[in-house]
Chain A
């Protein structure tokens, strides 16, 4: 067990929110086609309110702090907020599209000791990347920014959210990341909008494409190992939790609303009405979430994928039941192993059609 795993375990046992994700604005200078946020800035927390929340997080024991948005650098006080967080000794990650990062901003970020800048990169081709962000010139500006950041030795991680629009560019984006000297993460999940609208999920990769991704060595490493089903589930898995949301992770919106995770829109309270600690330790919603062990998941606890499934309780919540399966993760497990999930076997989640043959014939089932 790594030192960080040990600290995570201690944090879980003590109920410490070791990680927090703060969106300081939902406004953005891009209009990504798959974005799950609306971009209304009305009622955002003030600088003082945000600093007060950050101070409360430090008191609560938070170590990892992600400052995000929207585009966080659209706030004029973004650097003031980052500086405040670093003065309180947080490990700070900045999630940004980076189009506002020039040489001066890169130097400022280096001087602040920002741990990592996380940036979405959709394609190596401007006609694809810019079509997704709807901001002409955004690929050039983002890659220029990455060069400025790297020139200052700032760690950068690019996330390649895969959609049908850019699926074919993933390997080239990985190569671009390598050429720029930055980390590369692939993400095949398009998250529904926080207001429940699922229409944007149609932009996601098809099942066939997902299968192909799961069988591409450059993305998953040893394909045979990655795709082999593991059916044994130990008590440690059943006694555990699906993820850290609400256990060691909290999300705070630009309006002061607290949730278990940015992808888990279950309202737990508002820091404008209560202290963060009051919400974290006493919110009925947080406490209900914490009572749910893997063993309590009515379908997933019986599933052969349980040991390695990336089940997201937030996506399950958005589908109507945080104790239920997340169909997107059922699809991933199926694409990975070829074995249907328990939800698929029960018919509550549809089994995706596979079009692997040269000829597709319908109407014969």
Chain B
């Protein structure tokens, strides 16, 4: 976990709703649909732009789903990268509020 910290923020260009453990997300740009499982939903719901990903993983993933920090953090980074590629999640190196988003 030595690399630079990541801060995640939900894009405004999405529609989203959590149903039980899953979250349904649709991009309003290209209508791509994503369904996040319970781990993805936990990260998604905590993506407030202010909490470091490592903290989210530690508090929301490892504590809830009994996985180790390093493995979970690597998976979470990959997950964040995939969602960012589709423009539904934004990744920052510093904390920010949604109004600061480009």
Query: Could you tell me which A residues sit within 8 Å of B by CB distance?
Result: 2-4, 6-7, 10-11, 14, 16, 18, 58, 61-63, 89-92, 113-115, 155
B15→A3 contact, CB < 8 A: no
B15→A10 contact, CB < 8 A: no
Q: A7-B35, A113-B28 are in contact. Are A63 and B22 (CB under 8 A)?
A: no
Please give me the 6 A-B residue pairs with the lowest Cβ-Cβ distance, nearest first.
A91-B15, A113-B28, A63-B17, A89-B16, A3-B33, A3-B35
Is B20 part of the contact surface with A, judged by Cβ < 8 Å?
Answer: yes
> How many cross-chain pairs have Cβ atoms below 8 Å apart between A and B?
49
B15→A92 contact, CB < 8 A: yes
B19→A14 contact, CB < 8 A: yes
A292 to B20, CA, bound (A): 25
- Chain B neighbourhood of A90, CB < 8 A: 15, 17
* Pick from A10, A89, A91, A114: contact of B20, CB under 8 Å: A10
18 A-B pairs within 8 Å (CB atoms) are namely A2-B33, A3-B35, A4-B33, A7-B22, A7-B35, A14-B19, A63-B15, A63-B16, A89-B14, A90-B15, A90-B17, A91-B15, A91-B26, A92-B15, A113-B13, A113-B14, A114-B28, A115-B15
Chain B: interface residue count, which band?
A: 10 to 19
A214 to B58, CA, bound (A): 59
A345 to B20, CA, bound (A): 46
A129 to B67, CA, bound (A): 62
* Pick from B15, B22, B31, B34: contact of A89, CB under 8 Å: B15
Query: Could you tell me which B residues sit within 8 Å of A by CB distance?
Result: 12-20, 22, 24, 26, 28, 31, 33-35
* Pick from A2, A61, A115: contact of B26, CB under 8 Å: A115
* Pick from A6, A58, A115, A155: contact of B35, CB under 8 Å: A6
- Chain B neighbourhood of A115, CB < 8 A: 15, 26, 28, 31
A58 to B33, CA, bound (A): 18
- Chain B neighbourhood of A4, CB < 8 A: 33
A155 to B26, CA, bound (A): 14
A61→B14 contact, CB < 8 A: no
- Chain B neighbourhood of A6, CB < 8 A: 35
Residue of B nearest to A114 (CB): B28
B17→A62 contact, CB < 8 A: yes
